[in-house]
Amino acid sequence: MDVWKKIAIHTCGILLMCATFITIVNAARPPLKDNACATCHKDYGAIIPKTHPDVGKGAACLSCHAPDAARTEATKFSTQIHKVHQGEKTKLECTACHAL
């Protein structure tokens, strides 16, 4: 086989493996740290909307709003949390909540 054909086949194989790896990493989503919200928020009542059902003092957000592993798209809760924590007023690093 011609040397250039071998190089082209190997290059395509490497590119395919890289694309597969990137797809798998992005599909998995970074896991959250344990009790990620409580790291910064001590009183959930102060941050939840007034129309939200009463959760008491200690119920963490993710006890009800846990991500669904079967879904590939973000939930409304996840989208809103990311907007709030990476918006104009606050710019948290991903590692503040996610175990990377």
Per-residue pLDDT of 72-85, as tens digits, reads 778 888 888 888 89
Highest mean pLDDT, choosing among 5-9, 32-36, 43-47 = 5-9
Q: pTM for the full model? A: 0.59
Give dist(CA 45, CA 64) in Å, integer: 15
Per-residue buried b or exposed e for 39-66, using 16+ beta carbons within 10 Å of the residue's own CB: eeeeebeeeeeeeeeeeeeeebbbeeee
CB neighbours of 77 closer than 8 A, spacing ≥ 6?
A: 61, 65
Q: Locate 39 and state its tokens.
A: 């790291």
For position 1, what pLDDT does the model report? 66
Q: Locate 85 and state its tokens.
A: 């924590």
Q: Where are the domains of the chain?
A: 1-30, 31-100
For residue range 10-37, what is the model confidence (pLDDT) as tens digits?
899 899 888 777 776 555 567 888 888 8
For position 89, what pLDDT does the model report? 80
